[in-house]
């Protein structure tokens, strides 16, 4: 007080300090440091010091990198110099919480059991042999490195795999990630990328912003509590981009083994090692993924299932699961193979098994209702007739024969994000001036294919027995049904040519034949993609023969043996060969 009085001659300052000392005397719980400028009561001061000490212990025990520890101690030193009421105090405190709670420490050595891993994968999923083999290869390499090396894996040997599962919905991409984590003895976490448009979702926000947080990569690692989980990035093909940035570009660093060992989140602003994480991305289509991002991942295709595989999946996984969900005993819900075949053919039309499980669930709920109401006393295994009685009228029909009874209609094949599909190309003509009209929400490439097909047919008019006047006085309308669904691509060229030839020659196409392939102006048939998905769609649709480009012959090796035995494949090089196989009846239709 004497020192303050000597420095400040002002009576006002003297009165303020005197007032503080009087309050200190009247209320002993106030600490004398209050007079010297600090604002902490006695108990609060001890509590804050204890909090600082707690953070020091957390930082020491977190096994951070040298850079992260240095940054944490620097921020702690800043926090000690400011009052708790300051806005920056809580910001620093939250930052230190993130740093100390992240898994920084060394990774425990894995105990790898290849037979057990194979058993786990087989228990959870039927078939998918290529994917299972790739996972077992990854585990086998790590096991040999442990046994034949120094007993500990180097950072390069620990490096996680970066896989991308591509396939239609319902084939088991996401659930396969959980099985992989269980087979490897690792934790599992996932992040959905569908609709993401903000780059900060990946890299986080800088701490200068109010409410800043780390990116979802760092958040997931803190939540799972380990540096080497199986991390699933769902729907990587559905990332968007706008003025907030491009998340797919931010993923380039995350999914690059050469860069992600020093991943720098904007919020943390220190390097974090992601190289030990096993990233698994999923996508319905490969094309929407940017080429640079696609190049960083090893792509594994999970195509649709054939009828035999769906029956096995239903008997081994879907029916038992629906029994548990609907509180039924094993003897109370039994569906024979013929009953499942009826559900697959008449009530579903998909590459995966998601809708199949829904229909089995409908059956289970109806059985549960009859049991609970006392209507069903003894159990009967459901066959085809029993399934129809519970599910009602069929939703799908094998309509290829009916649709192609009219000249100008051809069965084509396509691929979309739900897998392979069958589409019909319909053509008709009327009097006019040689105009071509296209409908069905077709893309630019498919429109070019239609114009190309008409030019080719006109150029071959003499060989087809048609006159030039017929084309000059005729308008042609080409339509692809399901007009609400966008369609594009060159693979319908063969089908459009066949449709126009069928129209002008008044000859019906073989109802059991589907076709795909791109054509040139000279009549060559070029290879196309998605052969396996297209053939599986034709098989689901009940078709017996598929016309394919000759250069796609190697793709037939990917087909299941059941499909190759039940279907006939005609490999063609020119459109003349297509027409020879598409019209078994040379006589015109009546």
Task: Give CA separation, 126 vs 41, 139, 175, 310, in Å.
Answer: 67, 20, 12, 9
What is d(CA 301, CA 304) in angstroms, rounded to the nearest whole number?
Answer: 10
Q: Which residues are catalytic?
A: 491, 534
Task: Kindly report the number of other CB atoms within 10 A of residue 300's CB atom.
Answer: 19
**222 dihedral zone (left: phi>0; alpha: psi -120 to 50; beta):** alpha
According to DSSP, the β-strands at 513-515 and 545-549 are: parallel
Which residues of 193-294 form beta strands (DSSP E)? 230-234, 263-264, 271-272, 278-283
Where does residue 265 rank: exposed (0-12), middle (13-18), buried (19+ CB within 10 A)? buried
Closest CA to 524 of 458, 461, 425, 452: 452
Contact 550, 578 (CB under 8 A): no
SS3 487: strand
Cα(506)–Cα(587) distance, integer angstroms: 9
Among 532, 538, 533, CA closest to 512: 538
Rounded-to-integer distance, Cα 345 and Cα 543, Å = 13
Number of H helices, E strands in the chain: 26, 16
User: b/e string for 211-242 if b means 16 or more Cβ within 10 A?
Assistant: ebbbbbbbbbbeebeebbbbbbbbbbbbbeee
- How many Cα atoms within 13 Å fall on the side-chain side of residue 143? 13
Cα(72)–Cα(64) distance, rounded to whole angstroms? 9
Strands (E), 274-376: 278-283, 298-301
Terminal Cα distance for the chain, rounded: 118
**Hey, how many other C-beta atoms are within 10 angstroms of the C-beta on 208?**
8
Gyration radius of the chain's alpha carbons: 34
Query: Looking at beta carbons, which pairs linking 388-393 to residues 24 or more positions away fall under 8 Å?
Result: 388/342, 388/346, 390/362, 390/363, 390/366, 391/343, 391/347, 391/359, 391/362, 391/363
């Amino acid at each position: 007080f004497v020192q303050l009085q000597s420095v400040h001659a002002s009576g006002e300052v003297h009165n303020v300090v005197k007032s503080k000392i009087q309050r200190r005397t009247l209320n002993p719980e106030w600490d004398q440091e209050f007079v010297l400028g600090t604002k902490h009561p006695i108990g609060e001061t001890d509590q804050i010091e204890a909090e600082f000490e707690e953070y020091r212990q957390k930082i020491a025990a977190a096994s951070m990198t040298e850079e992260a520890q240095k940054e944490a101690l620097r921020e702690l030193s800043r926090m000690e110099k400011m009052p708790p009421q300051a806005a920056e105090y809580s910001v620093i405190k939250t930052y230190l919480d993130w740093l100390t709670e992240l898994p920084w420490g060394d990774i425990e050595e894995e105990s790898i059991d290849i037979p057990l891993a194979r058993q786990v994968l087989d228990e959870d999923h039927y078939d998918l042999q290529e994917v299972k083999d790739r996972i077992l290869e990854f585990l086998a390499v790590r096991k040999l490195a442990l046994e034949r090396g120094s007993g500990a894996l180097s950072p390069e040997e620990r490096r996680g795999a970066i896989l991308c599962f591509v396939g239609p919905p319902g084939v088991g991409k996401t659930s396969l990630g959980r099985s992989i984590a269980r087979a490897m003895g690792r934790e599992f976490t996932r992040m959905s990328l569908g609709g993401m448009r903000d780059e900060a979702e990946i890299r986080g926000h800088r701490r200068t912003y109010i409410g800043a947080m780390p990116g979802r990569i760092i958040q997931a690692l803190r939540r799972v509590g380990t540096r080497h989980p199986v991390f699933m990035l769902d729907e990587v093909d559905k990332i968007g981009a706008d003025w907030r940035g491009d998340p797919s570009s931010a993923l380039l660093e995350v999914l690059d083994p050469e860069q992600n060992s020093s991943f720098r989140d904007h919020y943390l602003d220190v390097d974090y090692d992601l190289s030990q994480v096993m990233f698994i991305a999923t996508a319905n289509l490969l094309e929407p993924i940017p080429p640079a991002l696609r190049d960083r991942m090893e792509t594994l295709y999970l195509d649709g299932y054939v009828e035999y595989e769906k029956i096995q999946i239903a008997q081994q996984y879907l029916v038992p699961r629906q029994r548990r969900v609907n509180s039924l005993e094993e003897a109370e819900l039994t569906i024979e193979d013929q009953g499942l075949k009826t559900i697959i053919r008449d009530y579903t039309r998909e590459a995966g098994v998601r809708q199949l499980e829904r229909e089995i669930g409908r059956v289970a709920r109806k059985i549960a209702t009859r049991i609970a109401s006392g209507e069903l006393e003894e159990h009967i295994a459901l066959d085809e007739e029993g399934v129809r009685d519970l599910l009602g009228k069929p939703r799908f029909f094998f309509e290829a024969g009916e649709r192609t009874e009219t000249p100008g209609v051809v069965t084509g094949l396509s691929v979309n994000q739900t897998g392979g599909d069958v589409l019909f190309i319909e053509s008709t003509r009327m009097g006019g001036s040689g105009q071509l009209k296209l409908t069905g929400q077709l893309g630019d490439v498919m429109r070019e294919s239609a114009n190309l097909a008409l030019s080719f047919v006109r150029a071959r008019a003499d060989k087809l027995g048609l006159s030039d006047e017929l084309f000059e006085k005729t308008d042609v309308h080409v339509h692809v049904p399901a007009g609400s669904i966008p369609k594009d691509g060159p693979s319908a060229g063969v089908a459009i040519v066949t449709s126009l030839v069928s129209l002008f020659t008044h000859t019906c196409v073989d109802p059991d034949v589907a076709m795909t392939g791109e054509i040139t102006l000279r009549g060559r048939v070029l290879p196309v993609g998605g052969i396996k998905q297209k053939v599986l769609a034709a098989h689901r649709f009940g078709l017996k023969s598929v016309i394919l480009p000759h250069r796609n012959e190697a793709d037939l090796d990917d087909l299941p043996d059941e499909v190759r035995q039940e279907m006939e494949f005609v490999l063609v090089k020119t459109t003349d060969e297509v027409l020879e196989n598409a019209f078994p009846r040379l006589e015109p239709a009546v």
